[in-house]
Amino acid sequence: AQSVTQPDIHITVSEGASLELRCNYSYGATPYLFWYVQSPGQGLQLLLKYFSGDTLVQGIKGFEAEFKRSQSSFNLRKPSVHWSDAAEYFCAVAPVLGGGYNKLIFGAGTRLAVHP
Amino acid sequence: DSGVTQTPKHLITATGQRVTLRCSPRSGDLSVYWYQQSLDQGLQFLIQYYNGEERAKGNILERFSAQQFPDLHSELNLSSLELGDSALYFCASSPRTDTQYFGPGTRLTVL
């Protein structure tokens, strides 16, 4: 069965420091890959997605992610964190179906705290 | 703002009751998806509708049902509610099977 693992439940970084959130997936082929962010009391906002092509993907708010097939990973990075980045981050995979997909399978999330 | 609207924002009800959650997708989006976010299960896919037809089913209980209407809005019906049904219910929409845009969610509390 497909699954997503986010090994870090909580991460705390200082403002201005770099960030890397880990995501590993289990799937027979290359799925579609996503990172979403959820601020307190808010819905999920798409940060970036990988369908195919260049394995380094740029997203909104200065985030990027790198797909590594050999490691079944899709880690999210940001070079310099801002206090407003404090939120919960979800990695998700979607099994590919005939060029599209339907359901998203989410990891448990990583809660990011930012110290001033 | 994703363009997906959900009503109500909060819902408090009692065990055994039935509730209906409503979702209006982004303009032009044909697909609607429902997800449940709970503390113990995390974010789980429930069901997908595409242009009025059910397309995919996930971990949706038999007590739950959904439909998508001709104007493309969708409703999720939850019946015989139990304490464990307390959760945040999200609706998402997409044009076909592309990027899913999530609504703000409906927080259901079952007392």
pLDDT at A102: 77
Sort out which chain B residues have CB atoms less than 8 A from A43's CB and list them. 2, 4, 90, 102-105
Give tens-digit pLDDT for B2-28.
899 999 999 999 999 999 999 999 999
What is the residue type of A96?
V
Q: Which of B31, B43, B105 is opposite residue A106, by nearest beta carbon?
A: B43
pLDDT at A86: 96
pLDDT at A99: 63
Percent of chain A with pLDDT over 90: 76
Mutation site for A-interface testing, chosen from B6, B45, B51 by largest number of A Cβ within 10 Å: B45
What is the residue type of A113?
A
Is the Cβ–Cβ distance between A11 and A81 less than 8 Å? no
* Helix, strand, or coil (residue A57): strand
Task: Indicate whether B97 pLDDT > 80.
Answer: no
Is the Cβ–Cβ distance between A15 and A25 less than 8 Å? no
Q: Which of B58, B90, B99 is opposite residue A103, by nearest beta carbon?
A: B58
Is the Cβ–Cβ distance between A81 and A15 less than 8 Å? yes
First to last CA, chain B: 31
Q: What angle do CA B98, B92, B78 make, to 5 degrees?
A: 140
Is the Cβ–Cβ distance between B95 and B30 less than 8 Å? yes
Element (H, E) at B76: strand B74-78
CA atoms within 13 A on the CB side of A114: 16
Mutation site for B-interface testing, chosen from A102, A105, A106, A110 by largest number of B Cβ within 10 Å: A102
Task: Indicate whether B75 pLDDT > 90.
Answer: yes
How does the average pLDDT of chain A come out, rounded?
92
What are the tokens at A33? 């890959």
What are the tokens at B14? 């009692």
Return the higher-pLDDT residue of A99 and A86. Answer: A86
Q: Which DSSP letter does residue B25 get?
A: P
Nearest chain B alpha carbon to A34: B99
Task: Indicate whether B99 pLDDT > 90.
Answer: no
Sort out which chain A residues have CB atoms less than 8 A from B92's CB and list them. 44
Task: Indicate whether A97 pLDDT > 90.
Answer: no
Give tens-digit pLDDT for A64-78.
999 999 999 999 999
Task: Indicate whether B55 pLDDT > 70.
Answer: yes
Task: Indicate whether B98 pLDDT > 80.
Answer: no
Q: What residues contact B36, with CB distance under 8 A and at least 6 apart?
A: B43, B44, B46, B87, B88, B89, B90
